[in-house]
Amino acid sequence: MSKTVVIGVIFVAVVLGFLFYSSMHIATTRVEVCVEFGGRTSCRISSADTKDHALRTAQSNACALIASGVTDTMKCEHSTPVSVKWLEKK
């Protein structure tokens, strides 16, 4: 193999290794959020790097199951959750 191919393979391996390592250590916070909207309730668990990201993601995922359309989804995502439970990281 030529020197260029070897350098390319090493570069790709390093980039993939970095991506794998960083993705395994990013989620430091877990939360379970329950949302009520339109007479329906949904609960979802999310993990993220910050409490705000975890809370937003869990609420967005819960709303995706009980709201339909852009307007309802936005209303649901901006409503106050019924319950929020902070969980230990797995």
What is the spatial distance between Cα 79 and Cα 18, in angstroms, rounded to a whole number?
38
Report pTM. Answer: 0.72
User: Residue 80: what residue type?
Assistant: T
Query: 33-65: per-residue pLDDT in tens?
Result: 999 999 999 999 998 888 999 999 999 999 999
Residue in the structure block whose two tokens are 């967005």 = 60
H or E element at residue 74:
helix 70-77
**85 has a pLDDT exceeding 90:** yes
Please write down the long-range contacts of 24-28, taking CB distance under 8 Å and 24 or more positions apart: 27/54, 27/89, 28/89
